Structure 1
Amino acid sequence: MRKKIFKKSFDLFGDLIFLLNVPDGIFLDYIGEKKYLALPPKQFLGKRVDEVFPPQESETLLSAMNLAVKSNTLVKVDLSLIIGDSLKHFALTFMLYDEETVVVFARDNTELKNSESVAEMERKNILNILESTEDGLYIIDENHDIVYCNPTIEKDFGKNLGQKCYTYLLGRTIPCEHCFFEQIKKVSSVKRKYYSPITKKIYEVVSTPYYSAKKNLLKLSILRDITEKEKAKKALEESEKKYKKLSRELELILDNIPEPINYKDIHNNFVKVNKYYAKLVGMDKHEIENKNALEIYPKKLVQQYWKIDKQVIEKKRPIIDLEEQWDTKLGKRWVLSSKIPIFDDEGEVSRILGIAKDITERKIAETKLRESEEMFRTIAENSVMGIGIIQKNQVKYINKTVTNILGYSEEEVKTWTLEDMKNVIHPEDQKIILDNLTRKQKGEKNLPVNYRYRIFRKNGSICWIDNYSTPIIYNDHPADLITVIDITENIRAQQELIKLNTLRSELLSRTSHELKTPLSVIKGYAELLKHLESLQSDEEALETLEIIDKGINNLEMLIENILQASRAKAKQFEIEKKTYNLSELIHHSVNEMEGLLNLREHDLTLHIEENITFRFDWKAISQVLRNLISNAIKYTPSHGNIEIHTEKIKNEVIVSVKDNGVGFEREETQFLFTEFGKIERYGKDMDVIPGGSGLGLFISKYIVELHGGKIWMESKGRNKGSMFYFSLPMSSF
């Protein structure tokens, strides 16, 4: 058949026809006159092109063959060969015959090379071929002008009215960024896909260099509409992606289900298992899949399970929630197993889906619950704390301690209604408890769980109890676990302690007031004596009087601190806010401490803003500043450094007093800002000024908090200094 076709082709094209094998370029056969052969047939049939022709000619032939294969179009090349004593010129046309064969039509153009009639004939033949193809074909010159386009192109894009290729095909006003012209100068052909906004189609374009009769470089391009192909390809890719994604998601879901799942065929082979199943078996899931159950489990166990599987296959019905005990790598596990048949298109069982719910924890929990209930009852019956369970406003359980506190028997209490419980509570305490109970019944959350209230015992006496309740599940329904402690004696002790504290505060206040009058008299006489002695110039007497005066001042300050602390504790300390400049107060306070600063030879640096005006009590905040600055001076060894900073943050100002003094250990800080919370420095070989009542920081804290601010300190440890801060809101009212 092939011979007949080639014979007919030979009659049409004449001279010589070769058959080349793709892709090796082996000569398979020929038809033609031997006078056109450079070698006898035996010397080239079955051989490769590069074994027969010189390198340059071989490269030309192979390139043309490959281009014909890639483009599936006719490819023409000129080839010159020496046959005998003469140079012959051949026009070769390469045509893809099938996937493995290229036909080469060779025409002797030696005599007709310059003949215009032959050229015209060839042009018409080529045009007939090109215009009959379903692929679009166009030729452009180096100026991007379209020289030729076949009817297929015009059918898609319309008549070409001398347009540029980029305008005609793409609707562009400038050439493409990656024009083929530069590329085809370097390679024999270029293939590319592009989308045309004019036709809204996707094309595959194969371009190759082409020279006109005048040797001008042209570009021949074959345009193939692959829109539907691309859509089908994209749809297939999307379908594959969705399938793979769905498959991955399904596998991920199954692998994250904390229950064993397996999927077997009717021959007891595992098709799929999830990770939890593999974990129970003690293998990787991929080691189980595609294996028979006999390769995984002992024969006796396989026969036991297969008996159940066969029932599912034969009866075509699932078996649900079969309680089984499995021997696994995790030990014995209790499961609720379900076997579900999967049917094929003929309605026969082709797979069995095994889903098991691991109920081992539930079994253990049930056992522990029984043990826990027994333990709870044992603990509750022997507890010194009253324990009860209330459900739906009824007493479900109480221990002996509750009956001992109430004075009622267990039988009496278990018959109580909500009204009975209410009657036991002291009338003054009923409202808050009943209000919270009502809010709880309405579904409100975050209600108080701890109450202290009074109850009436059966004998009529009053008892204070501390009651704590927490929600629990009792007999599968919500309930409250109640614990009660008799705190009657504690309450009495607290009341006595309050009385004693009140008495102590009154005593300190009264004593301080009583001391102030004689102290004022002593101070007055001491001042008088100092004046008289100064007239007589008795230096020794004056020094003694100075010591007395200093002691009186210290005693006066101590009495004033005690009185202020008493007022603070009794909530009787009052402040009077007016508009002042805090910067001026800081300068004033530093000036008051100048004598003590010079005595200790400290350097004090101010880093403060000059205008910090807002409402505060000048006298009270002055006392806070004096306390903090004097402490920094006294508890910093000589020649120390003290800094005072201010910082405005939003609507408040922060004042800090920093020193490089003795600092504080962590355990010492808990005593700061407490009444008489003095850290003793006396006798510890420190270059500091000991003394003080331990009331300064306590009073300062109260003053700052009365202004709506905060006070705190920081220290990195002994001999690492400290920094005291206090903040004040910068309010204008």
Structure 2
Amino acid sequence: YITEIKKVNGEIITVQINAHIVKESDNKPLTIEGTVADITEKYILEQKLNESESKLRGIMSSITDQVSIIDKHFDILYLNDKAEELYGSSALGSKCFQVYHGFNEPCSDCQMRRTFEDGQVHHKECLREIGGESRYCCCISNVFETDKKGHPISVLEVSRDITERKKAEEMLKEAELRYHTTFEQSPDGIMIIDPETTRTIEFNDAMCNLLGYTREEFAKLKVPDYDATENPSDTKTHVEKVLKEGRDDFETKMCTKEGDIKDIFTTAKVIELSGKLYLQSICRDITERKKTEMALRKSEHKFHTLFENMLDGFAFCKIIIDDDNNPIDFVYLEVNDAFERLTGLKKEETIGRRVTEVIPDIKNSKPNLFEIYGKVALTGESTKFEIFFEPLKIWLLISVYSLEKNYFVTVFDNITERKRAEQKLKESEQKLTERVKELTSLYEISKLVETLDIPLEDLILGTLNIIPSAYQFPDITRVRIIYKDRVYSLENFRETKWKMSIKMMILKFPILIEVCYLENKSFISEEYDLLIEIGTQLKRILDGREIQRKLKESEETYRLLFESSTDGIASADTEGNFIDINKAFLDLLGYSREELLKLNFRDITPQKWHEMEDNLLIKQLSEEKDSGIYEKEYIQKDGTIIPIDIRFWIVKDNQGDPIRMWFIVRDITDRKIVEKEISDLAKFPSENPNPVLRATQNRILYANKSGIELLKVDIEGNIPEFLHEIIQESLSKNIKQELDIELANQIYSFTISPIKAMGYVNIYGINITDRIKAEEEIASLAKFPSEDPYPVLRVNLNNVLYINNAGQKLLKIDDNDEIPEIFRVKIDEAFINNAITEVEAILNSRIYSFNIIPIRGSNYVNIYGMDITERKQVEQKLKEVNKLKSEFLRRASHELKTPLISIKGFSDLILSLYSDQLDIPIISKLKEINNGCERLQNIINNLLKSSRLESPNIRPKIQKEDLSFLIKFCLHELQSLAERRKQSINLDIHSELHANIEKEEIHDVISNLVTNAIKYTPPRGKIDIKTELKEDFVVVSVKDNGIGFTEDQKKKIFQQFGKIERYGQGLDLGIDGTGLGLYISKRIVESHGGKIWMESEGRNKGSTFYFTIPTVK
């Protein structure tokens, strides 16, 4: 037993006493023997451990996250209070995947499963069923207990409900996308004024343009310098009202730099910045509106003439209701001439009479009219609808609105012709859909043969799968093909009497294609034509295959081609010794045939290419295709090193053993020179998403990556057929040419610019598909513009050519009027750049967005407006949500620090004082607690940094630093990490490279990129760090040959919490992350005035991260 005793010196100690009774031979007790051991230190340590465990359980019970412990059979052993509240106490002992997800077995990507497998911490975001609804949860799992061999026997999981954060993130994306345009792109002048000094502390360009000042000039002015009100005290009164009530809308006058007086409508409100009150004023030039109002007042006497001569029918009516406030009739108070023309009802027989008197049967034929008109007249809510007017057999488009309660106005137009056109369009679209299906099937068949050496059976079965989708009734369409006395069909084929077929010869073999309907349906002529086209395409493909087979058998017949080829062709044995060489190969290197036959291909290849080509050879031995074209260098006889394009393949015998290698080589010295020249035309041509080429009359000298992929440029440099004639004409006439053409389902515009002195043309392509679609859409909008609920205009450089009803009401202008001032600048830009521009304006207390779209080959633009008031309000709310999110992250991170310090402090204390007295498993668990604390500390620091960087007021504290030294310093810190992976890091940087940076922040960026490269590159991988100078910027790149990125992963790596989980494949180093590293790096680089991006050709093809920083001038 354990007790306390007092020593002679008075010290109280804890002892463990082990005692037993000593008995005599007759079993009588004689005495007591025992041992006393001082266990004071051990006893105190056990008490502290119990206290620590109690605190830990207290934290687990009180934490707002869900905490659970799961055994290796996925049974729930423990739930904290929060988890038990959500899932119920009955969840204890149940399978976690049943409780959390309602599944019958564990998820394949379950993070707890992965923790049991590798003993590592794993993260996952998933949906869980909580309280009858699906909620997003962020889950973290770690080993809780292990067996004697260190294998996990239970896992601790902490999950947090992040549903609201997910929703906020989605809303935040749209807010962040549009916020930056709000201030500077506003067409109205905006300024922030200090009411004490009347000086403007911030303003946009529109404010300067409004009064004709430069930004430097306007910054020096005070309000009295441009205030042109007749009584200055009026301005003071407005300022006092704003300060008192928080807002005021008023009209005032301002004086421009040139002395002109402008009428200004001002919306002013109080805002608080850094604890001080300022006035924010939005100023709109209403000078033209004032003039327009005057002109409108003068033209009011013309209204009656316009009313009587308008093309639309017009009726002013009063609704009649019963005692229950239900509409039962209405009276015509006034109608125009068009009303009589469109309806056939006489004005004198209509005005002053009820509609039930004028059209007695209207309640039976159109009973819902009374409900519609009554709602408008009683509620003031306008509406628009189409109706077929049976007595006249015509369609009418009717707009109804109310000027005052119990009265309404109808404006209508005859839209019968439009309805007929819509019906024809619908029929045309149906035919077009069928044609698209036909073309798609032909395209899919052509794609089948893109797979090299596709077996004949796979080609025909693939065709059988494609054909039904192109017919009217694909579900009941069955197909079979008979070729070379063999029947090919799918399992569901059944021959019926409703069929069509075609038969044609492929060389000497007939092919029969039969299509059957399972039901009595008729084939249309287009379907028969399609079957002929499919047969023709199959014939062409199979003919080609037969011809290729025969060409291969008679390969020796074309020895002349070998000798006359302008490309170097050679063969070598499996040791690399040359066997055969053509003249072009000899001319390329300057050797005689006898000299070259004594050499090995490695003898003419620089040493730096040997390892790469050895790897290619090993790869080709296991594959049945050539190496593809790649670049390397050859050494000529005189020692000159030249760049070449090369492709090789291995010939094997019937047993599959290699017997010979063939090479095709082309000297690309000229092309390299051209590539250097073309780089002057495009800073990074290979990165240009649009095609860039240089060509002579006979061949393409250079094409960037986009040009090669789009135009299918081959190694011969053959010019696409559609460019031949226009290139020749451009060079012969020395004129710039333009060409629009559809390629790969996209429309491209090519500009061909001749450089006659050099004998070539530069070709620039741009994808104009979106612009063409926009033009088509605006053209369709303009077809019946008067029916559009939003403003639609067509204008030239001076006047309004056309404006619909909505536009007339909103902008207070008509056809042939001058262009509103709000559009002038952007219209000029649209004409000059032939590109779509956008204007936002506040009209009638609503915010409108106008798209200005130039029409190619015309001298006008179309303008389409849309009310975006609600969208702007949502954007403002999202800004507030984003601010709350950042504040939450900051506060949550600080709150997490307090318990973290206590846990880590106690674990450090125990390890430092009592590690020599503790069992190894206890020390291991304490170290795991310590490591977990450090990881959580890193996460908290990243959250705090992310929150801090989101503040628009944060600016880096830059000073002149040596960027090269900083890169070397980061590399030195991480060298041991790379050595553990046996990775090589190659450095290609300038000896000194000065830039204005905040050293600590750029250190974080470099360290993060290099750490990621080490983490996601397999053992013995390569990492290259390089710097380049581009104009006023230095480009830093970190390249690896690691796991790479898919297209979907590329889109989210720079997003907040955009972590891409990758486990296994020898990549894990225990380097945990939150998905904030690259997001933080992006914010840091952009705050320094630079950019960050990445390139990767796909999974397992490595990646390269780049960032730029301005250099010191």
Q: TM-score range by the shorter chain?
A: 0.3 to 0.5
TM-score (norm 2): 0.27
Higher relative contact order (CA 8 A, sep 6+): 1
TM-score (norm 1): 0.40
